[in-house]
A and B are shown apart, each in its own frame.
Chain A
């Protein structure tokens, strides 16, 4: 596979990135096809977090980092495949493989990785390569096998992804999402007291426009301010929870709310209603007022 066999350190069970990689392949029980995009976003977010932590670990060579990332990505794919969602996630997993190939210096990649970016059989060829790297690494590294394998057996609550496909910093909770899962993700979002946040409510056209306008503004607000995060909460079953929270914050007409802006400490800053003009200015102003 490699022109000269690299020397592998193997997985260190206590390394922080191992935990992140392992979390990437855990799902909640009762995952429906409608939940798969968000669950995949969530898993990939964890996998990227593991990749970033691994990159900072100075002891590992680029070739081993390549193998570790793909080995865990294969585990992630296999987890979805086990639930019967392999075909649904194959394309995005293949894209993640391409990202790893492109991020790794040519000299540290397996020899067959060179032609992967140009292959016509997308995503099959990339998934085949993924499996091949996993197999190679598990054979050649001094692994504690359970470190790699322990991921599949332990279901866990879905973790909030960084963003949903097509958005820069917005996580979309689809309208048909199971309410319990939506509630769990919303609560995770509310607990993330590190940035200014915006929640857009409902699934109508006006909500779509507001969410799409807010996404780039919260991603890059300007004025030297840190980026914020957005949640587009579409499930109708989630509205009572959000309304209740609004009332607890002293907002009297929660059914009129379109966008809710939270300060970094989690308190309510601004509510933009259905009758407000929600344009770039309104969202920027709401953001800066919440800073």
Chain B
């Protein structure tokens, strides 16, 4: 006895821990009364009762959806995968952030020569050296460059090794975008809500506002996604988005600095501006045809310089189409041409004329300035920054797609617009999960929650009934006549539906109202008119009441019956 009490006590204590964890409900349904607007919660368990003309508001719980989706997908693996990817993305973004930071610092540090990016080089190398993976990638990219260099040594003049390596690093940003997309696909699952009305003839799909479109007799699902990531992970992803955005701004700022710096360097070409004046002043010494050649050369170079100036002030450096290096190359080509034609033509002339000497000096000075600016432009990782800018923009957008808010907060099911329906028809609401990648033709739905309800008229309503009554004119003295006499009757009944009791709605279903009858109590073959009060029960199959026979001025009571089917010769309007 003692022992059994002990076990009972243990069992009672352990019961809360042994019982399966209570699952959160996915759906919360509320009934909104059509007339009063009153909101009533629909019970979560069992067969609920809802008003046939009401509006149902169906709210979904994102946390519960995520929990169910995780159960289906296998939580541990997904969590690990997500964590790894988030870490990797963050690391790559940090690397790029550092690179952009050094580039900006290299431009902004006034004590540095503008054409020197050594600080960037050294800082970047230090960071790369501290990371085995980055170092391996550096070697790989450097060898790629070397292979191309061996095939064509003039590559050195056209493409910078360090910028090539930086450019290859930035490609990892593109791969991140792909990784994020894959991650999102792995982590997300389509969530859907469906509703059906079920009657004796079968079922019919119903439209739920926000979850599907019902057009021209067809249902089209609105794509709603649930993500199987927890709020902390979502927060981490949002942090990545901020990081990508700030990196994006950093690269844009660096590009602006580059533009400003370049713009500041252009006045160094002032000598080019003085060229036509000197040419005019030296006109006595210089033959006309040479002047024409030099004038044309100067015009070409000047035109390119103006073009570059205008573009630097008006165009966005982040625009794909803008290539400052190409524009600079054009200017350089014309400046070189001016240099060669000046030198070729003026060297043979007597150097006694000061203006001829000035022209020669000017050509030399311009060439030196062009070389200096050229070194700055060539060494500047403009393409890399442009790539970072664009990649980060896309990366930030990609992170935005990781958002639970993609599932609408509520769906609305307006029963008044669901077509012909009758009391007692059932309503089925399903919450579904569909894995990503399933095609529309072959979907593996998983119903994660299902709710059913019966539709009924819950307010007062009038119901006409035609039937037979057995009337007893209890005050009439007719010894030879039957005590109860059949007579046709018609009643107008008032009924009330219940939200709580299926027994009441389906079995008792009482009604009360007025009844008219046409008995022939006088037995003369001419029916009299009678009217009175009636009450019905059992879905109007049984009725009873009291009436007054206006032909004989006598009362009678009656017991009535309405058969739930039609018989030949019986009046229509049978009970249900």
B3-28, CB < 8 A from A: none
- How distant is the Cα of A288 from the Cα of B121 in the complex, in angstroms? 7
B143, CB-defined interface residue at 8 Å: yes
B286-330, CB < 8 A from A: none
In the complex, the chain B residue whose C-beta lies closest to that of A221 is B161
Which B residues lie within 8 Å of A280 (CB)?
A: 138-139, 142-143, 146
Shortest B159–chain A CB gap in Å is 9
B150, CB-defined interface residue at 8 Å: yes
In the complex the two chains form, is A222's CB within 8 Å of B164's CB? yes
Q: 1/0 per residue A202-236: CB within 8 Å of B? A: 00000000000000110111111101000000000
In the complex, the chain B residue whose C-beta lies closest to that of A285 is B125
- How distant is the Cα of A279 from the Cα of B141 in the complex, in angstroms? 12
In the complex the two chains form, is A58's CB within 8 Å of B347's CB? yes
B72, CB-defined interface residue at 8 Å: no
In the complex the two chains form, is B135's CB within 8 Å of A281's CB? yes
Which A residues lie within 8 Å of B115 (CB)?
A: 224
- How distant is the Cα of A221 from the Cα of B164 in the complex, in angstroms? 11
A181, CB-defined interface residue at 8 Å: no
In the complex the two chains form, is B375's CB within 8 Å of A224's CB? yes
Partner of B118, one of A216, A217, A288: A288
- How distant is the Cα of A281 from the Cα of B128 in the complex, in angstroms? 9
In the complex the two chains form, is A219's CB within 8 Å of B149's CB? yes
Shortest B502–chain A CB gap in Å is 78
B79, CB-defined interface residue at 8 Å: no
A218-260, CB < 8 A from B: 219-225, 227
- How distant is the Cα of A168 from the Cα of B156 in the complex, in angstroms? 11
A289, CB-defined interface residue at 8 Å: yes
In the complex the two chains form, is A223's CB within 8 Å of B162's CB? yes
Q: 1/0 per residue B346-376: CB within 8 Å of A? A: 0100000000000000000000000000011
Shortest B151–chain A CB gap in Å is 11
Count how many chain B residues have C-beta atoms less than 8 Å from C-beta atoms of the other chain.
35
In the complex, the chain B residue whose C-beta lies closest to that of A280 is B142
A100, CB-defined interface residue at 8 Å: no
Partner of A217, one of B121, B142, B160: B142
A contacts with B: majority SS: loop
In the complex the two chains form, is A222's CB within 8 Å of B160's CB? yes
Which B residues lie within 8 Å of A288 (CB)?
A: 118, 121-122, 125
A277-291, CB < 8 A from B: 279-281, 284-285, 288-289, 291
In the complex the two chains form, is B153's CB within 8 Å of A168's CB? yes
- How distant is the Cα of A217 from the Cα of B128 in the complex, in angstroms? 17
B117, CB-defined interface residue at 8 Å: yes
Which B residues lie within 8 Å of A216 (CB)?
A: 145-146, 149-150
B205, CB-defined interface residue at 8 Å: no
Partner of A222, one of B135, B143, B161, B347: B161
Q: 1/0 per residue A173-207: CB within 8 Å of B? A: 00000000000000000000000000000000000
In the complex, the chain A residue whose C-beta lies closest to that of B147 is A216
Given A280-B143, A281-B142; A224-B160 close (CB under 8 Å): yes
Partner of A284, one of B120, B142, B153: B142
Count how many chain A residues have C-beta atoms less than 8 Å from C-beta atoms of the other chain.
20
In the complex the two chains form, is B118's CB within 8 Å of A291's CB? yes
Given A223-B117, A281-B139, A281-B142; A289-B165 close (CB under 8 Å): no
Which A residues lie within 8 Å of B494 (CB)?
A: none
Q: Which of A221, A224, A280 has the most CB of B within 10 A?
A: A224
Partner of B122, one of A168, A221, A289: A289
- How distant is the Cα of A235 from the Cα of B164 in the complex, in angstroms? 37
- How distant is the Cα of A217 from the Cα of B156 in the complex, in angstroms? 10
Shortest B94–chain A CB gap in Å is 19
Shortest A16–chain B CB gap in Å is 16
In the complex, the chain B residue whose C-beta lies closest to that of A288 is B121
- How distant is the Cα of A224 from the Cα of B161 in the complex, in angstroms? 9
In the complex the two chains form, is A285's CB within 8 Å of B146's CB? no
- How distant is the Cα of A225 from the Cα of B379 in the complex, in angstroms? 8
Which B residues lie within 8 Å of A58 (CB)?
A: 343-344, 347
- How distant is the Cα of A281 from the Cα of B118 in the complex, in angstroms? 16
- How distant is the Cα of A281 from the Cα of B143 in the complex, in angstroms? 10
Partner of B129, one of A221, A227, A281: A281
- How distant is the Cα of A285 from the Cα of B116 in the complex, in angstroms? 16
- How distant is the Cα of A223 from the Cα of B128 in the complex, in angstroms? 15
In the complex, the chain B residue whose C-beta lies closest to that of A289 is B122
- How distant is the Cα of A282 from the Cα of B127 in the complex, in angstroms? 13
Partner of B156, one of A227, A279, A284, A289: A227
Which B residues lie within 8 Å of A281 (CB)?
A: 125, 128-129, 135, 138-139, 142
- How distant is the Cα of A168 from the Cα of B125 in the complex, in angstroms? 24
In the complex the two chains form, is B162's CB within 8 Å of A222's CB? yes
B34, CB-defined interface residue at 8 Å: no
- How distant is the Cα of A58 from the Cα of B121 in the complex, in angstroms? 41
- How distant is the Cα of A280 from the Cα of B140 in the complex, in angstroms? 9
Which A residues lie within 8 Å of B122 (CB)?
A: 288-289
Which A residues lie within 8 Å of B160 (CB)?
A: 222-224
- How distant is the Cα of A227 from the Cα of B157 in the complex, in angstroms? 11
B159-197, CB < 8 A from A: 160-165
Which A residues lie within 8 Å of B129 (CB)?
A: 281, 285
In the complex, the chain B residue whose C-beta lies closest to that of A220 is B156
In the complex, the chain B residue whose C-beta lies closest to that of A224 is B379
- How distant is the Cα of A220 from the Cα of B145 in the complex, in angstroms? 10
B155, CB-defined interface residue at 8 Å: yes
In the complex the two chains form, is B164's CB within 8 Å of A284's CB? no
B99-148, CB < 8 A from A: 115-118, 120-122, 125, 128-129, 135, 138-139, 142-143, 145-146
Which B residues lie within 8 Å of A168 (CB)?
A: 149-150, 153
Shortest A141–chain B CB gap in Å is 22
In the complex the two chains form, is A224's CB within 8 Å of B142's CB? no
In the complex, the chain B residue whose C-beta lies closest to that of A286 is B125
Partner of B149, one of A220, A289, A291: A220
Which B residues lie within 8 Å of A285 (CB)?
A: 125, 129
Which A residues lie within 8 Å of B379 (CB)?
A: 223-224
Shortest A60–chain B CB gap in Å is 13
- How distant is the Cα of A223 from the Cα of B379 in the complex, in angstroms? 5
In the complex the two chains form, is B138's CB within 8 Å of A223's CB? no
Which B residues lie within 8 Å of A279 (CB)?
A: 135, 139
Known pairs A221-B162, A224-B117, A280-B142 / 13 extra A-B pairs, C-beta < 8 Å: A58-B343, A58-B347, A216-B145, A219-B149, A219-B156, A223-B160, A224-B116, A224-B378, A280-B138, A280-B139, A281-B129, A284-B138, A284-B162
**Interchain Cβ contacts under 8 Å between A and B, 17 examples:** A58-B344, A168-B150, A216-B146, A216-B150, A219-B156, A221-B161, A222-B145, A224-B115, A224-B160, A224-B162, A224-B379, A225-B121, A281-B125, A281-B135, A284-B125, A284-B138, A284-B142
- Give residues in A with beta carbon < 8 Å to B: 58, 168, 216-217, 219-225, 227, 279-281, 284-285, 288-289, 291
- Give residues in B with beta carbon < 8 Å to A: 115-118, 120-122, 125, 128-129, 135, 138-139, 142-143, 145-146, 149-150, 153, 155-156, 160-165, 343-344, 347, 375-376, 378-379
Nearest 7 Cβ contacts at the A-B interface: A224-B379, A222-B161, A222-B162, A280-B142, A220-B156, A223-B162, A216-B146
